[in-house]
Amino acid sequence: MELALTQRCGCAEVERGSWVWACENLRALVLLKGGVCERVVPGVGPAVLRRWGPVGAESCREPWAAAYRAGRTPVSSSAGVSSVFGSGGSSKKEKLVLQDIAELIQAGACQRVVVMVGAGISTPSGIPDFRSPGTGFYSSFQHADVPYPEAIFELSFFLHNPKPFCTWAKEMYPGNYRPNIIHYFLRLLHDKGLLLRLYTQNIDGLERGSGIPGSKLVEAHGSFASATCTVCRGTSPVEDFWAAVMGDRVPCCAVCTGLVKPDVVFFGEALPQRFLLHVVDFPTADLLLILGTSLQVEPFASLSEAVRSSVPRVFMNKEAAGPLSWRPRSRDVLQLGDLVDSVGRLVELLGWSEELTDLIQRETGKLSGQDS
């Protein structure tokens, strides 16, 4: 079948070195390399095509682009590809909504999704966040044997008095909490081959518990999955750490009797080496999801600015926060309010509700079997 390819541009940031066409007959985006069809993204709805529009028309030297700049080529709802991912195009960009994000994912236009998450995704599992007044973890330490709540995550205080941290860690014992719908939505992104990487500030391990493999995770603030002696720097069995903590004892090294600390990143400590993957992941992402984080802790918070300006950013949180609130981009989508409701809305728009329900039932059954 001969395609009626109406517009093209070789200047697109979408696929460097590719021709990006919009096919009006098929309502599809067609990517060509070396004159050969590399990929067809079919079934693209009018809303998606409208927001793509002509790619790179401001700088492209193609005849059609010159005509467009001169006002001789109108932009219709089914023509072209525009600035959701492009590097040029019209300066009048329409505001994206969650429906547009769902259509982009359904159309196959977002295949390298990077996700940033914080404590807010674990509160539906019963784990308090850190900073909420009256209910956060820090509030619970207001009258404890600590000079200020954040001190329990400072290495100098831990070495001096590890008991407050160990008391808190006892609450985080694996199995006390289970993944929720948000974790399983991220697992479904992985199962569908869309998840490039998940960057988490959380140390509760619920991302792993949902079945997301370690290769897809960057646990930016470490985890309880391993432990290290603070004196001899030897690896200590994590089972020994938990045995001591659950027995209300201070964990000590079996080799040198030094204090053992889980490989959780305390304030002032270096982040794990895997955090450096952001140098590669964020520039190549085609969609950024930011869920349940106040974007206050650096350097994690600055990652939200690391994707290309043409890449949509979806921020789901109880309230606006961080750079997305005081320096928004035209392609940002802010979905504020209850996080479970927001994720559920996106799942519904994607048509994944039944798949997600099946996944949750299947994985919950596995966890119940482990408990019995």
Q: Distance (Å, rounded) from C-alpha 98 to C-alpha 335?
A: 8
Q: Distance (Å, rounded) from C-alpha 327 to C-alpha 329?
A: 7
CA-to-CA dists, residue 229 to 237, 249, 334, angstroms: 10, 15, 43
Helix (H) or strand (E) holding 253: none
Please, which residues have CB within 8 angstroms of residue 193's CB and are 6 or more apart in sequence?
111
Q: Distance (Å, rounded) from C-alpha 177 to C-alpha 125?
A: 6
Q: At what angle do helices 339-350 and 353-371 cross, to 10 degrees?
A: 120
Please, which residues have CB within 8 angstroms of residue 328's CB and are 6 or more apart in sequence?
334
Q: Is 221 a catalytic residue?
A: yes
Residue with tokens 């991912």: 85
Question: What DSSP assignment string belongs to 254-280?
Answer: TTT-PBEEEEEPPBTSPPPGGGGGHHH
- The one catalytic residue among 183, 190, 221, 278: 221
Please, which residues have CB within 8 angstroms of residue 286's CB and are 6 or more apart in sequence?
85, 109, 110, 111, 112, 113, 311
Cα 90 → chain centroid: 29
Catalytic residues: 221
